[in-house]
A and B are shown apart, each in its own frame.
Chain A
């Protein structure tokens, strides 16, 4: 039937919900009768939502589709700063379950027409009276539109128990509002031919309900407390926390990565500058390109330049510091001769302050230097200086002895070395 609409009607319904979510930014969203989870799959991209729940009576269907709701691969690579949890329940909209109360938005897309009228009554009671969400979107076919379908007799789907006219839908909706303290506006998707809008209405009619008195401030709240004893009639089939920076481990991991890669970049650059600095001292003043943070958070050029200078001075200080503290026998500039005799690992100090000032991303992730230190201290991959003020990196400029690789072809050394790991080729025999 849908083909007469473009985009298809079911898409339009989903888009309606998405537009609502974009506008209202609900944090907890429940989709009743989520069936193949197609709406959930769309909604999960909208990270305003923190809890996204689907419920359907057909558990087998959910089980078949639920893996499609798992986090994207890239969600693990760049965890979002917003949290998201997706849950799926098998259950009936005519029964109560305490876990589904207090949502910001409940959607019921093309669901109620599959219920018998007494069940619709129970549905109203459960959804509006018990779950008491902040907003409810209910869509259902408008039977007045049916004559426009060619050759269509009866209901649009064999399982439909009824298809309401606009008047019927509105009377039910208004009744609900009266009983449970909501207000409703009517709209729909699926435009009829332009001249018939008045007489026919949308193909799918939609009621958008808002709870009166706003969230958390109404008489239902009392009920909420009274019936607090847990009614758990639904079966939880699926529950997945998306990786997010709210998870302290993940935050730590990301932060450590930023710190280590940033610190290593600085170390390389300093080492480079030192080498060139020996020959062309002029370079100290001008400097090469600043290792701008790859994520491109803009900073004023001037400020950047300023920072740059400051850092260089600091870097100088660090080098001096290392000479004194780390290993008195070694001198940065001509340590070459002595390196073999000395077994102490040479380290480069990267003060946290430098990292902090240099990388906006580190600032954003850590919040404060204290936090940053805390995160780094707890992490096995990071070595801090004794005073906890700097990250220590092994200086790798001196190449250690390398074991000879298997099949190390000498010539052309480096070029001929067989790769240690099998090369990737996903397309090899696809």
Chain B
């Protein structure tokens, strides 16, 4: 563990690591350039950190940790030093001795490690002294190498690493004021250094930088190599992300030798040199110009408005400084206080995170200030050194602009609930349901291809008038026997707000054995009961002494690396907590939801009106204007208006007929008039119904026969099984015995009364897992209305055909040997269960046959593991069907947030490509598109003064798109209410070289292919299928469905 001797330790550690990953060294895509780099000379190492999960995730990890333990020890040391601007040093010292290749990885690993590891403090001390001198050397070394601008930030750049860790340690107070700022270092780190520690790749980093990514912060020698490589990389950068990685890898390997020697040569140089290069590069950094390589041309132009308001920056620039404290000041609080004392020098407007300082004003290049440390009266020298001049709309500024804007929202009287702001004064009360709807906004400042925008979305918060205790009481009256179970079902996963602060908590558990009379320990070590505590601090008298307590387990990463890691659990008193969100029961009640939606769904007019109201409130409030002007921000008075395109209408092909879709993107009439592409004759099937539904069942069966002909279905009379009651066991037993009697049964139909989760779940478990057979559950209510029976029956019949393996319709996709894949993940809201990945892949050329799989992942497992298994199985299936493998594979991956894009690009995609090696000389083209439904972008059409919903097929691929990706917004579905919520598609990988037009049109075509709905839907059909599959498996089956069903859409 001796930090001074890491090299040896590190080396010992590596061999074993290498083993673990030894499998993949050759594979180019492995992801971060780092990995590649290493693979050239010391393959195992890079791996160690990067891909613990590759081969066999759990193992990989288990192995790595113990062995590398010593390395961590050291690395940690380095890291924490980052806090003191001398960070670079630590590395410097170790690297030369280590030999660059080895050296790089350990620091890496540790970056992550450190964040969570509380013990780092110990090691830090040890490392401190030895590292000082070399550090400066390193920095200067870089200068010496003549590294390009991005590199120059290096000296400073190291700082964020440490800071990220420490920054968050500040107590709540600080965060309140500086919250955003504190969070900024993470981003900043990535942006400049591309070092994207841990999980938060912000997706902003330009590719070359990110390739260096993690590596860079931690591995100076590499950096050197990189320095050379940069120019070339830059050229290739924009267009092709993935190939670049290969190139880069090559370059790295070539240059790394230089790197190795370099440090030795330049060690003598002094810190001063760092200043000089910094000066040279202090030109305003250019903001990337909107690239046009993602813009398509197909379709009819349409004027589109969006909920984005341009922000003008009055300031010429924002200046970024690095602040060093000598001797070092550990306490962030102290650092803040000292900087605060020097407001006369910095001005009142500052964003400071502990070592990086942003100001709207330009100071001298180096400003030296003095402070006295109050604890020991030591004189501290504060050096503020300018490191960058940023354009005012730089990504780096966005975090603190957001902080500013949050203040503005507060100033105009809105309340923060969760992450959005609401106006309780304008609450709508739904008396009958005992809940309130608060209107409000979610806001965020973002920089897109079109510049800096304020993104505002109308949001509504549903809050309940009852405390959790009230809710529990009600539940108790409803069912005393199952009271605890019912409570768990109703409460777990719910978000509550408390009476004494405005915090929100998720209920993770109910502690039945605890009560408000129990004691807990305060910060100062004294013990107090909950009753006393609330009475003393808030004057609140708890009335019910026998209530259980609610438990919230904070996310472990919520305060990374902080001193006060909030581990453990937070206990809350039900009486003092209020429920938010729509009650589960109400969600299922159609009519109540209608009441609610009346208030929540706003039409385009109302939507824009409420946005304008917000803008007006901001602009007419002098305080809020002042707040914004501190950073020179000015919010436009109008929302952005631009031009989108409406993609051409598609042609839907049935068995022998075809037609063009209507402008409303719906073909419910056509689809029941003519025969589907392929109908499976239904010969042996059974229908189960309770006695009271006999009449409806009879009606249903006879209607089936009437409507089957035109659709092209042939069906025999079903085996009718009348159940004496509608208990779950009765259903299950009867189905079971029928299946045993009739092994050739094709389909099970169940008529049920009411929404019965337990019954539904039991039937599906039986038919999807235990005795695999397609099954159709029908709520008797849907077939009880004679007027609608015909159309309902038609739809059920189509659905049954799908479940049997039939094919309904298709659209023409002019790509040969194509496989389209959809992936979605279902997370259990109560977090009690595992996440489930649904995977669906097309296996024929008309994209009408689908192969589906499900995998359950444990929290520690990465999704990609199951993904690979599924993809391999799908490829095999494709081969079985077509006797060849697909040439092009298009993956639509749902459920990836912006922050995870980088991870998917650098880790998931390479892993996927790795699958192809399973087949000899198989190198298909891959297109990987991330599908994001939950975004805050809305689009509306503005024809004249009329504000409406844009028609289906509206696409927008500029202005609001992201700078770093090939992305577009597509509104494929017809939305009957509210405003147009487009889906955001980000193309992360495209070796098929599909043009933007092709990407957009393919996606739109796929939105036509969901057979459960005769019209276009929001996401490509495979995504929707994957979603349904994951939902069914996660919510009702709790197990993987039987493999026998995998070639049918049994989950519809």
Contact = CB atoms under 8 A, between A and B. Distances in A.
Interface of A: 6-7, 15, 18, 22, 42, 45-47, 63, 67, 70-74, 76-78, 243, 253, 256-261, 264, 289, 291-292, 294-296, 381, 396, 399, 401-402, 406-407, 409-416, 419-422, 424-430
B504 A426 contact: yes
A255 to B, nearest CB: 9
Contact of B501 (A72, A253, A426): A72
B463 A413 contact: no
Contacts of B465: 77-78, 257
Nearest to B497: A73
Interface stretch (B38-46, B73-81, B426-434, B954-962): B426-434
A380 to B, nearest CB: 11
A410 B799 contact: yes
Contacts of A430: 419, 555, 558
Contact of B499 (A72, A259, A399, A407): A72
B434 A257 contact: yes
Nearest to B523: A7
B669 interface: no
Interface in B742-787: 755, 757, 760, 776-779, 781-782, 785, 787
Interface stretch (B358-366, B470-478, B653-661): B470-478
Contacts of A289: 477
B737 interface: no
7 contacts: A46-B539, A72-B500, A72-B501, A73-B415, A73-B578, A77-B465, A296-B544
A292 to B, nearest CB: 6
B778 A413 contact: yes
A411 B796 contact: yes
A6 B523 CA distance: 11
A74 B538 contact: no
B537 A256 contact: no
B946 interface: no
Interface centre among A291, A292, A409, A410 (most CB of B within 10 A): A410
B383 interface: no
A414 B588 contact: yes
A415 B1052 CA distance: 11
Contacts of A78: 465, 467, 578
A98 to B, nearest CB: 26
Interface stretch (B589-597, B710-718, B834-842): B589-597
A420 B601 contact: yes
B301 interface: no
A45 B477 contact: no
A47 B934 contact: no
A7 B465 CA distance: 36
A420 B588 CA distance: 11
A401 B781 CA distance: 11
B591 A396 contact: yes
A47 B539 contact: yes
B170 interface: no
B775 to A, nearest CB: 9
B781 A264 contact: no
B795 A410 contact: yes
Interface string B409-421: 0110101011100
Nearest to A427: B506
A429 B1013 CA distance: 31
Contacts of B788: 401
A381 to B, nearest CB: 6
A341 to B, nearest CB: 14
A260 B432 contact: yes
Interface centre among B499, B537, B796, B1017 (most CB of A within 10 A): B499
Given A74-B497, A406-B976, 16 more contacts: A42-B537, A45-B538, A70-B415, A73-B415, A78-B465, A256-B429, A261-B431, A295-B470, A399-B781, A407-B1012, A411-B777, A411-B778, A415-B755, A420-B601, A421-B596, A424-B581
Contacts of A258: 431
Nearest to A74: B499
A410 B587 contact: no
A259 B502 CA distance: 28
Contacts of A260: 431-432
Interface string B577-608: 01011100001101101001100110000000
Contacts of A73: 415, 417, 424, 463, 497, 502, 578
Interface residues of B, number: 89
B233 to A, nearest CB: 30
A7 B537 CA distance: 13
Contact of A72 (B429, B431, B502): B502
B1028 interface: yes
B431 A428 contact: no
A411 B776 contact: yes
The 6 closest A-B pairs by CB, nearest first: A260-B431, A257-B431, A76-B424, A413-B779, A426-B418, A46-B539
Contacts, number: 159
Given A73-B415, A261-B432, A264-B432, A410 B474 contact: no
B429 A409 contact: no
B464 A77 contact: yes
Interface centre among A47, A74, A428 (most CB of B within 10 A): A74
B992 interface: no
A148 B192 CA distance: 51
B425 to A, nearest CB: 8
Interface centre among B465, B504, B540, B779 (most CB of A within 10 A): B465
B587 A419 contact: yes
Contact of A428 (B596, B777, B934): B934
B126 interface: no
A111 B42 CA distance: 68
B434 A421 contact: no
A401 B429 contact: no
Nearest to A257: B431
Nearest to B376: A151
B72 to A, nearest CB: 27
Contact of A422 (B415, B497, B591, B934): B934
Interface in B157-215: none
B495 interface: yes
B513 interface: no
A309 B280 CA distance: 91
B540 A45 contact: yes
A261 B499 CA distance: 23
B897 interface: yes
B792 A410 contact: yes
Contacts of A425: 829
Interface centre among A243, A412, A429 (most CB of B within 10 A): A412
A246 to B, nearest CB: 16
A411 B799 contact: yes
B601 A67 contact: no
A396 B594 CA distance: 13
A261 B434 contact: yes
A117 B666 CA distance: 84
B524 interface: yes
B113 interface: no
A259 B431 CA distance: 8
B794 to A, nearest CB: 10
A167 B34 CA distance: 74
Given A45-B539, A46-B539, A416-B1028, A294 B473 contact: yes
B498 interface: yes
B566 to A, nearest CB: 13
Interface in B511-535: 524
Given A22-B539, A409-B1012, A429-B899, A7 B785 contact: no
